Amino acid sequence: MSTGTITPYRSGQRPGRDDFPHLLRAEWTKFRTVRGWVIAMVAAALLTALAVVALAGFSSGSQNAGAHPRVAIGPGGEAVTDDFYFVRQSLDGNGSITARVASLDTVLPMPAGAPPHIAVPWAKAGIIITASTKPGSAYAAVLATPGHGVRMQYDYTHDLAGLPGPVSAASPRWLRLTRSGDIITGYDSADGKHWTEIGTARLAGLPSTVRAGLFVASPRLLVPNNSLTCRGASCSVGTPSQSFARNSADTPVNTEATAAFDHVSLRGQRKANGAGEVGTAWRGGQIGFPTGIPFICAPGRSCPGPPAGGFKTSGGTFTVAGSGDIAPYVTGVDPLGAILKGSLAGLLAVIALGALFMTAEYRRGLIRTTFAASPRRGRVLAAKAIVIGLVTFAAGLAGAAVALPVAEDKLRSGGWASSVYPAWSLTSAPGLQIVVGTAGLLAVAAILALSAGAVLRRSAGAIAAVVVLLIVPLILGFILPQGPADWLLRLTPAAAFGLQQGTPHYSQVTSVCEPINGCFPLPPWEGFAVLCGWAAVALGIAVFLLRRRDA
């Protein structure tokens, strides 16, 4: 017997490489070679596209009063409200207009008696230069508001902030606009001596003769049912906090603003024109028409029309009263955002796939091979997340990019006015936000499901948990009162559905942002960040548990 040294066994194979690109390739191979998963991913893209288009077919605008409101069309083709009391003269060529706003009050018009005060934060009193008195004309204005200080606004969608604070006799506001060719510059001042430039507006194609003058507007308030309370000479409106909003629609209520102007001066060449606006005489009148969905009057009740407005002068002081607004028109319904919820069908499929991409390894025992080949478990999970995220993103992008133009076309032929529900092209910023956002939403949801799968190791539990987190808040948002509903849609991953909003909201227009109207409390990309935050935390927990637990 000899006890020679025994050479330990060595495999003839070279040691495997576990650098990250190879890990990615391994995970991609795992995904690609399961035929059911590839079919399911293609089905998710198809389901998304088909469901969105089908929903567009079932969304008839002819039955919906909100589908074709009365609006003016602004210079950019957008729907606008252009309805205000205008005291004006014609201005030929370059010139400037200056005025001091000494007071601004807003009231609730009454059929009889003294009208009570009501707060209208976005009532407007100021000076304006506009291409014509036709609704939807290009304009630039500097104006004082009760709730948002002095603003310079032009062409409806642009809004710049000037001096803060409300107008009062103790702190009047001096406003000035100068025209030089297509460029209009706005200034404000607290004392009429020291002027600050607020901004400049370029109004392309402004005619040489424009209208310049004083204007007053006070937008309608949206009043939730029975929330208007009056005490003495002032009224207030409750916060919109009705639950089951379908049963208690907000009622629009007309308001009227009255402003006193003095130190009014118009410099430049006046010109007589065919409409009889001659010389230096000021001429007043309500411009435009009440915008939006016409009031539906109960039979037998008198329907209050909008206040007529008016102006009078005494000793250089102009007292102007008016109602209406000069602003972009914001709709109360969002058909595009609603039909994009068809992507929920695809979302369910990718949540299931994301979870299965992890849990299937546990069921088959493949996870032990995976971890033997690549012992650094965090990197395995990262590779899986990248693979499932990218594949889902590509599928979602394809589905949404096909669905959007077809669905928009169907909506338009279904009776939704294209001015109010814009047909975003795929390359426009909102179009890109919708398409890329939908794809990103699907991709991050799949990663969240992957992490849930790694934590729970059971497909059914992981899928149900992610579905409940993502979809149930949308349903609760319709049921709960607005306050809690808004919090739910800020904190849960459902905030990311804000990416699918089809109608823009403007800070300078008071609109009720209710989940039932498809409006989300967070800006779209911040909502997406909430979803990403959830996915990041879930990935962190998954890595922690993967490292601690036996596979």
Partner 1 sequence: MSPLRAEGAAFGEALRAEWTKLRTVPSTGWLLCTMIALTAGASTLATAVVKCPASCGEDTTKLSLTGILLGQAAVAVLAVLVMSGEYSSGMIRTTLAAVPRRATALAAKAVNLTGVVLAAGATATATSLVAARYILPGNGFTGARGSEALLLSAGPTLRAAGGSVLYLALIGLLSLGLATVLRDSGASIAAALGLLYIVPVLTGLGTLDPRWEHRLQEWGPMTAGLSIQATRDLKALPIGPWPGLGVLAGWAAAALLIGGLVLRLRDA
Which residues face 79 on adjacent strands?
73
Q: CA nearest 126: which of 144, 106, 114, 105? A: 144
Range in contact with partner 1 (rule: CB under 8 A) among 4-12, 94-102, 213-221, 242-250: 242-250
Q: Does 135 bind partner 1 (CB under 8 A)?
A: no
- Residue whose token pair is 């506009």: 130
Q: CB 480 → partner 1: shortest distance, Å?
A: 6
Half-sphere exposure of 162 (CA within 13 A, CB side): 29
Q: Give the residues across from 222 on adjacent strands.
A: 252
Within 8 A by CB and 6+ apart from 443, the residues are 350, 388, 389, 390, 392, 393, 396
Nearer residue to partner 1 within complex by CB, 24 or 228: 228
CB-CB contact of 97 with 449 (8 Å): no
The least distance separating partner 1 from the CB of residue 358, rounded to whole angstroms, comes to 11
CB of 329 to partner 1, least distance (A): 17
- Phi first, then psi, for residue 189 (nearest 5°) are -160, 150
Count the site residues for partner 1 by CB under 8 A.
Answer: 55
Nearest CA to 201 out of 178, 217, 227, 224 is that of 178
Nearer to partner 1, 183 or 423 (CB): 423
Quickly count: other Cβ atoms within 10 Å of residue 65's Cβ. Answer: 13
According to the binding rule CB under 8 A, does residue 333 interact with partner 1? yes
Q: Quick one: which of 39, 479, 491, 537 contacts partner 1 (CB under 8 A)?
A: 479
Q: Which stretch binds partner 1 (CB under 8 A): 162-170, 304-312, 333-341, 378-386?
A: 333-341
Nearer to partner 1, 229 or 269 (CB): 229
In terms of CB distance, is 326 or 340 closer to partner 1?
340
* Between 201 and 400, CB nearer to partner 1: 400
Residues 335-394 interacting with partner 1 (rule: CB under 8 A): 335, 337-339, 341, 344-345, 348-349, 351-352, 355-356, 359, 363
Distance CA 46, CA 345 (A): 10
45-74 residues in contact with partner 1 (CB under 8 A) are 55, 58-60, 63-64
Q: How far apart are CB 347 and partner 1 at their closest, in Å? A: 9
Beta carbons within 10 angstroms of residue 9's beta carbon? 5
C-alpha 405, offset from chain centre: 20
Tell me, letter by letter, the H, E, C secondary structure of 250-277: CEEECCEEEEEEEEEEEEEECCCCCCCC
Q: Compose the 481-510 pattern: x for residues touching partner 1 by CB under 8 A, - for all others.
A: x-xx--------------------------
Residue from 480, 496, 535, 538 binding partner 1 (CB under 8 A): 480
Among residues 2, 3, 33, 247, which is the contact residue for partner 1, using CB under 8 A? 247
Query: Which two tokens mark 308?
Result: 């007529």
Nearest to 262 by CA among 119, 125, 89: 125
The helix or strand, by DSSP H or E, that contains position 88, with its residue range, turns out to be strand 79-107
Question: Closest CB to partner 1 among 109 and 335?
Answer: 335
What is the C-alpha separation between 5 and 308, in angstroms, rounded?
A: 110
Considering only 135, 213, 493, 518, the residue that binds partner 1 (CB under 8 A) is 518
- The interface with partner 1 within residues 439-478 (CB under 8 A) comprises 458-461, 463-464, 467-468, 471-472, 474-476, 478
Distance CA 283, CA 89 (A): 7
Instruction: Give the residue with the Cβ less far from partner 1, 10 or 246.
Output: 246
Tell me the helix, strand and coil percentages in the chain, rounded to 5.
Answer: 40, 25, 35
In the complex with partner 1, the residue whose CB is nearer, 344 or 398, is 344
Query: x/- site string to partner 1, residues 2 to 41, per CB under 8 A?
Result: ----------------------------------------
Please say which residue, 277 or 361, places its beta carbon nearer to partner 1: 361
Other C-beta atoms closer than 10 Å to the C-beta of 269 total 12
Least distance between partner 1 and beta carbon 44 (Å): 10
Q: Report the run of H or E that residue 175 belongs to, with start and end.
A: strand 173-180
CB 197 within 8 A of CB 85: no
Q: Among 181, 238, 294, 305, which residue sits at the site for partner 1 (rule: CB under 8 A)?
A: 238
Shortest Cβ distance from residue 385 to partner 1 (Å)?
18
Q: What is the dihedral of CA 518, 521, 525, 526, to 10 degrees?
A: -160
Is 346 strand, coil or helix? helix
Assess 202 for contact with partner 1 (CB under 8 A).
no
| Site residues for partner 1 per CB under 8 A | 55, 58-60, 63-64, 227, 238-239, 241-244, 246-248, 333-335, 337-339, 341, 344-345, 348-349, 351-352, 355-356, 359, 363, 458-461, 463-464, 467-468, 471-472, 474-476, 478-481, 483-484, 516-518
